[in-house]
Chains A and B, each alone.
Chain A
Amino acid sequence: MSVTTPGLVLDVTETAPETAAEQRGRLADSAALYRRWERQQWAVAQVDPARDAATWESLTPFSREQMLGSLGELEVGEVTVTHTLGALIDAPPTEDDRIFLCTQLADEARHVRFFQTYLEDACRTGLDAVEEGADYSEVFTPVLTRATDAVRQNPEDRESWYRALVYYHLITEGVLAATALRTTRFLARRLKLEALEEGLTNVTRDESRHVSYGLRAAQDGVAGGFAQVVEDAHFESLGAAAWVLIGPSRHNPVPALHAALLSRAAQIRGSVEIARERLAKQLRLVGLPHVAEKAVASWDLAVETALDAYAERWNAPHPIRAAAA
């Protein structure tokens, strides 16, 4: 049983289905997800990001830097998915899928507006500063853009559609965004950034619908003869996802106090573990349980590669490795 904040609807990867039949029953279809969307509306103006400005000012430089890094990655990710979702809307398997994906596009636009408003009104930060050097835009945006461009070029090619679906709904949203939202929401609560916590809870609820859609669509794809492309798309993209989570380009100094080093390492390792667990659960849910173990092994290897790149870039171990030494 997972712990959550009141009013937050978990996606199916955060509960524990027992049987194959139960798994199938838990995956809502696009018509049901559309109805859920109608019930779960929210507005950026109601969240009122400016009310966090005073608390933000009082944060330590470390907390501000951490939070800005996370918000920057989330904002960049939301901009990218807003730009690329159109390709999936143009060529979906069913009309119900198209209608759901249109609601998702409205959600993504609202998320962009939320993060940008928060950065400007609460953090008083220019967008260029947080967007520059974000690992998602450097590493994953090109991968996702190539996948969705292939759908635009050949809308009849169902394999391209399922590949883009995995990159978009299951890796970007199911693994990366879900992990980042969970850890950032925890930090927002700890730092008493109330508007941010409320906004992130709303964003998480939306993302839960999107991931649920992705899982159901991928499950249908696996059952309908596209199992290989769904499997391949996971293995093609998980390395870039692990790279984004470790972020070798971000300096992560080793704290002098051992307790601080252990805390820092546990914080980052926690994110990596959440992502790893979600990856395996998603594969089981879409009907590819036999590749979950192999995917986890590939994920672990990709994390080690990113940690090697960090050590080479900064000539010092990443806190995860320093803590393990």
Chain B
Amino acid sequence: MDNGTSRAQVRRIVGEMSPLGAREANSGDRLVEDLGYDSLAVIELSLRIEQEFTLADLGTGPTADITTVQDIEDFVVQQQAAPSDAA
């Protein structure tokens, strides 16, 4: 999956899971202030992102600081790139 497709998919998922109701999400949208995410919704979003992009178990690895949709897009793209960087 190329980066552009991954980013579009992240935006789709974030918009779809917004507690304010499914909507279009933009990269600059803030999760809490603009899209209504609360603590439970953020956990659910994280699990969905991990599942959709088959992210490795991050139990002992770094976790991503996020404020905006763009931060999640960047995190997913970095994680997808990680195996080839290591190779």
Residues on A close to B: CB < 8 A?
Answer: 60-63, 187, 190, 253-261, 263-264, 266-267, 314, 316-317, 322
Q: Is the CB of B45 within 8 A of A257?
A: yes
Q: Is the CB of B57 within 8 A of A260?
A: no
Instruction: Beyond A253-B57, A263-B43, list 20 extra A-B contacts (CB 8 Å).
Output: A60-B44, A61-B47, A62-B43, A62-B44, A62-B47, A254-B59, A256-B46, A256-B49, A256-B58, A256-B63, A257-B66, A257-B72, A257-B75, A259-B31, A259-B65, A260-B42, A260-B63, A267-B39, A317-B59, A322-B59
Q: Give Cα A233–Cα B64 distance, bound, in whole angstroms.
A: 44
The 6 closest A-B pairs by CB, nearest first: A316-B59, A260-B46, A263-B39, A255-B46, A257-B46, A258-B63
- Pull 11 A–B residue pairs with CB atoms less than 8 Å apart, ordered by A: A60-B47, A255-B46, A256-B46, A256-B63, A257-B72, A259-B46, A259-B66, A261-B46, A314-B59, A316-B57, A317-B60
Q: Give Cα A139–Cα B50 distance, bound, in whole angstroms.
A: 33
- Chain A neighbourhood of B20, CB < 8 A: none
Given A254-B63, A257-B66, A257-B72, CB of A266 within 8 Å of CB of B49: no
Chain A, residue nearest B50 (CB): A256
- Chain A neighbourhood of B59, CB < 8 A: 253-254, 314, 316-317, 322
Most chain-A Cβ atoms within 10 A of its Cβ — which of B45, B65, B72?
B45
- Chain B neighbourhood of A260, CB < 8 A: 42-43, 45-47, 63
- Chain A neighbourhood of B57, CB < 8 A: 253-254, 316
Q: How far is the CB of B15 from chain A (nearest CB, A)?
A: 16
Q: Give Cα A256–Cα B44 distance, bound, in whole angstroms.
A: 11
Q: Give Cα A264–Cα B57 distance, bound, in whole angstroms.
A: 16
Q: Mark B10-43, 1 if CB is under 8 A from A, else 0.
A: 0000000000000000000001000000111011
B81 within 8 A of A: no
Q: Is the CB of B58 within 8 A of A254?
A: yes
Q: Is the CB of B63 within 8 A of A63?
A: no
B55 within 8 A of A: yes
Q: How far is the CB of B11 from chain A (nearest CB, A)?
A: 15
- Chain A neighbourhood of B63, CB < 8 A: 254-258, 260-261, 322
Chain B, residue nearest A190 (CB): B40
Q: Is the CB of A257 within 8 A of B44?
A: no
Q: How far is the CB of B55 from chain A (nearest CB, A)?
A: 5
Q: How far is the CB of A142 from chain B (nearest CB, A)?
A: 31
Q: Is the CB of B43 within 8 A of A256?
A: no
- Chain B neighbourhood of A60, CB < 8 A: 44, 47-48
B50-81 interface (Cβ within 8 A of A): 50, 55, 57-60, 63-66, 72, 75, 79
Q: Is the CB of B60 within 8 A of A316?
A: yes
- Chain A neighbourhood of B64, CB < 8 A: 256-258
Chain B, residue nearest A318 (CB): B59
Chain B, residue nearest A267 (CB): B39
Q: Give Cα A190–Cα B50 distance, bound, in whole angstroms.
A: 23
Q: Give Cα A314–Cα B60 distance, bound, in whole angstroms.
A: 12
Chain A, residue nearest B67 (CB): A259
Out of B49, B60, B65, name the residue touching A258 (CB < 8 Å): B65
Q: Is the CB of A255 within 8 A of B39?
A: no
Chain A, residue nearest B62 (CB): A258
Q: Give Cα A267–Cα B65 distance, bound, in whole angstroms.
A: 18
Q: How far is the CB of A31 from chain B (nearest CB, A)?
A: 43
- Chain B neighbourhood of A254, CB < 8 A: 57-59, 63
- Chain B neighbourhood of A322, CB < 8 A: 59, 63
